[in-house]
A and B are shown apart, each in its own frame.
Chain A
Amino acid sequence: MSDIFQNVEPMVHESRISVPYHWWAGDTASRFFIDLRDSQKIMGTRCSKCSKTYVPPRKTCPTCFTPNDEWREVASQGTLISYTVVRRHQASLPKKPPIIYGLIQLEGADTAVLHIIDELKPEDVKIGMKVQAKFSSQRKGTMFDIEYFRPVH
């Protein structure tokens, strides 16, 4: 079938569009990021009906669809529930590979947060290990106010 390309001169038109976006974090996420930035606190929302604490916080419970307006602080330490090691570089990655991505269930939360795991070699990562948030010294109100999670020794 490859002879369909015989005598085809590929004519390519390059895009000159640049479409930058900015996103409003919104009511619930703003409160989370302000607490993270100003007090190094990790806050979740509590659904009393489901008895679940959500981090990231929700305005509405994803399970029962009732408003969640009770805020609760969770620990900055938790358990690694899954991970992967990204080996190949892509422009969209925040730093050079290998990067360990982890899903961390913080103590007091029922859902996991997604972040980078550092201060250990990729071959030493284990599901079930305890990790601790390392807060950034320059905090701007984003998820990178936690620089990464590191093993608890």
Chain B
Amino acid sequence: MGKKRVAIVGTGQTFHKSHRPDVNGQELINEAVQRALLDADMTIQDIDAVVIGNMDHFEGINYVDCWSVDGSGGVMRPIIKLTTGGTTGSTLAIGGYHMIASGMFEKVLVIGWEKNSESDTTGAITTAFDPVWDRLVFAGAISGLAAEAQSYMAKYGATDKDGARVSVRDRKHACNNPHAQLRKEVTIEEVLASPMLADPIHLLDVCPRTDGACAVIMACEGVAERIAPQPDWIWATANRHTYSYLNDATYGELDSMADASKELFSKAGIKDPRKELDVIEMYQPYSFAGIIWIEDMGIAPRGKGAEYIWSGATDMGGELPINPSGGVIACNPIGATGLIRCAEAALQVMGKAEERQVPDVSLALSTGFGGCFWTDTILHGKNKPAF
């Protein structure tokens, strides 16, 4: 049984803000959905099924799939909720892809959203950790990332200045993206002078809390070409969830990223990702991940990630621009964040990324990351995949 080819044919995002006191969750969702439908020149009647997700405990609403139908357009349609923590947005995209690739649906609306301002984020994120082993002593999302950065620095002699360089890049890129929450350039000195949250992570090294939603419309081959002049073809997806307890992770490298990207590249026949990829939209919740995880992807050799970043290769205009949107450090409505990476990669392939467009994108990578060191990866292409 062969799988069907799938493409992204339209995307929509809200203008993401720290607080959206003017709308409730359903209304926020609706903004993104209406923009995606407009982008694809479709109506809700054209949609066969809806996939929606957000973070557990962030808005305190259990049955988001049902509750949000007024905003999502899910009334009297097949609708499912997917939620996998930080990877929720990218898992939603992979779920939508599976629904169409299976041949069961032709056109699927995928929605990720978050009203981060409605709860205690640290408290809500802490529910992701095992209550018996991890939660009593540990809390929030930053400490695990800090331990990863410490380990990496001890192993390869990297410094917090290297991390700051990544933050400077992403915050600069964000100025080109009208949807990003934080659109202000910073200097390396400003990053290093910002308050230390958990050594070696400074305030300006990490993502903010954001209210926002993203919607992506996918369609099968034969339909996609009629909707979009240049569809964004999904070449492959791969994901990995690695462990039960925080203590089990390998610190200083991201095993789930290494394994998922290896599978992804092998599925697509990519041998040298650094040369073959044109752009990456990476779920990079803090600056040091921009150094460590590109090593796991095989973009830079072990211990050489910082050198590659300092060379300017990942800046706009460089060999392999990373996060033209400004990425997660500039904007993080968590349940939408992974799907925004996917939508931004799609915009790059479709040539619709406006001020943040990288020229001539044929292959783009988008990723998702979850606080317990999980990874989702999606490969996007201008041409139809070979399978």
Contacts and interface: CB of A to CB of B under 8 A. Distances in A.
B195 A88 contact: yes
Interface string A3-18: 0110010111001010
A74 interface: no
Main SS of the interface on chain A? Answer: loop
Given A92-B126, A113-B247, A114-B138, A87 B199 contact: yes
Contact of B136 (A1, A15, A84, A144): A144
Main SS of the interface on chain B? Answer: loop
Interface residues of B, number: 40
A82 B140 CA distance: 17
A114 to B, nearest CB: 5
B22 A5 contact: yes
Interface residues of A, number: 44
B64 interface: no
B198 interface: yes
B192 interface: no
Given A1-B178, A62-B248, A113-B247, A91 B137 contact: no
Contact of B134 (A15, A26, A114, A122): A114
Contacts of B138: 101, 114
B21 interface: yes
Contact of B197 (A12, A25, A87, A122): A87
Nearest to B201: A84
Contact of A82 (B136, B151, B197, B243): B151
23 contacts: A5-B21, A8-B21, A10-B21, A29-B133, A81-B251, A82-B251, A84-B146, A84-B147, A84-B150, A84-B199, A84-B201, A87-B198, A88-B197, A88-B198, A91-B120, A92-B139, A101-B143, A111-B247, A112-B247, A113-B247, A114-B133, A143-B136, A144-B137
